[in-house]
Amino acid sequence: MRYLNLKTKPLDMETGRKIVVLHEQDAEELGHFAGDRVKLTTPRASLIAIANSTKRMVQRGEIGTFIEVTEALGLKPGDVLSVTLAPNPQSVDFIRKKIAGEQLTAEEVYTVVDDIVEGKLNSIEMAAFVVAEHVRGMTTNEIVALTQRMVATGDKLELDISPVLDVHSIGGVPGNKYALVTVPIVAAAGLTVPKTSSRAITSAAGTADVMNVLANVTFDLDEIKQIVERVGAVLAWGGAVRLAPADDVIINTERMLRLDPRCQLLASVMSKKLAVGADRILIDIPTGHGAKVEAVDQARSLAHDFIELGRRLNVQVEAAVTYGGQPVGYAVGPALEAKEALETLRGDGPGSLVEKATSLAGIMLELGGAASPGMGRQMAIDILKSGKAHQKMCEIIEAQGGNSKIKPEEIPIGDKKEVVLAPSTGYVTHIDNKRINEIARAAGAPRNKGAGLRVILKEGRSVNKDEPLLEIYAEHETKLDEALAIAKRQPPIKIEGMLLEKMSHRPHME
């Protein structure tokens, strides 16, 4: 087998994949074509990487290694790598089989997941897999195998506690900061909730973005375990730990394709929950116009799929179909949502957030055996009103390195502000979730923590001309101008009067 010994040139760039670059003359000598796989070998270890060729980034006799490869092999500048061509992985055949609409065996699914984790699939093959999932779907057997292997190929949080509860919202609704209220309520009742969450992908703030305003969210697995054992809960960023790592690679491909295959959604959520040791899981499915799931019958179908998958995986799953037709609460954006969550824990939160957070907490309290069937919601309300949930949140914030004494009004929000006024008198008949997210992201959220918006009036409220509808906050004038331009060009709040249309017949006059 032809091979080359090349000197390492570390490249200070993350790609999310194991990728290297060869000088085009070395690539030609090796018989390599762009996107082919190569095997990299040192005296200590070896791995498969995707290779591309270049004229400028490296000289002949060098190999450029991006951060993922450099760290995986522990490379230093000038280290010698033995480089050989690697054959196409067997999983490519199985992806082709799925494209043809055939069912994969458990072993075939395992092989695909293994190759994803080991970085053996290039971007075209990853895209083919996601498209095949989207178009052809998967049977329950395939989804079970996919979930199990995604868990098995990553780390797992081992807790000597039972039961372990977790909650996940499939998202799609602005201002969905329920977890910062629900988790401390449940933990205050003595139950264990190791909640790991994502950062925002297309929304203005993920749970991890909101919690990051109050405390650190980046921990390794041992640190998460210590926090959970000390205070009963954590609100951490899942991307900092290697939980179901294949899922993270697949999600990156989904984001680029703007696809969200149902079978992958099921496997993704369940694998992350199983990886933290959860054996009782609540799935929140927001439903309504502008949410990910718009129709109630679709939400029920998805709920049944989650419950059946849980049964097959030997964990107890319940699902809640919640209203998702407009933002939860009034605040959208990391700091604004953290402020609203703290206000709610201190007894002064908006009704929609209180209702959603206590409803979900009530189901979890019943799931965990802390409340009798049918009594969970009232118990959750009592815990919230008593201040115990706020006290628990203070413990969580302190355990995660934050200021447990912070007051809502002390949370800094963007100092650049514009108010959007009602163009006419009438009633708020619709709030467009997607446009709300678009405006908040244009203002700088979630990257700028203080950016976002507050909805002043929600559906059903009467409004007078020139009355405030939205407050937009930003940390930079240019971002504020951009957000305001979107709000004026595509108003996210629809106002109508009681008279919807005037019709008449005029007789023909001769």
- Catalytic-role residue among 12, 36, 209, 260: 260
Q: pLDDT at position 503, please?
A: 65
pLDDT digits 0-9 by tens, 156-210:
999 998 899 999 999 889 999 999 999 999 999 999 999 998 887 778 999 999 9
**428 three-state secondary structure:** strand
Tell me the CA distances in angstroms from 383 to 165, 235, 396, one per residue in order. 18, 19, 16
Asked about 260 being catalytic, the answer comes back as yes
- In the predicted model, what is the mean pLDDT of residues 399-408? 97
pLDDT digits 0-9 by tens, 438-491:
999 999 999 999 999 999 999 989 999 999 999 999 999 999 999 999 999 999
Whose CA is closest to 362, among 380, 386, 343?
380
pLDDT digits 0-9 by tens, 59-74:
999 999 999 999 999 9
Element (H, E) at 237: strand 233-237
Average pLDDT, the chain: 93
Per cent of the chain over pLDDT 90 is 83
Domains observed in the chain: 3-85 (2.40.40.20), 91-137 (no CATH), 165-241+269-408 (3.40.1030.10), 416-496 (3.90.1170.30)
Residue 183 CA to residue 250 CA, distance in Å, equals: 28
SS (H, E, C) 194-232: EEEECCCCCCCCCHHHHHHHHCCCCCCHHHHHHHHHHHC
Per cent of the chain over pLDDT 70 is 97
Q: With bands split at pLDDT 50, 70 and 90, how would you rate the model's confidence at 103? A: very high
Question: In DSSP terms, which residues pair with 236 in a beta bridge?
Answer: 196
Q: Give the least confident one: 103-112, 132-141, 282-291.
A: 282-291
Q: Give the least confident one: 97-111, 199-213, 372-386.
A: 199-213
Whose CA is closest to 390, among 358, 357, 356, 346?
346
Q: What pTM, to 2 d.p., does this model score?
A: 0.88
Say which residue, 414 or 87, is predicted with more confidence: 414
Q: With bands split at pLDDT 50, 70 and 90, how would you rate the model's confidence at 130? A: very high
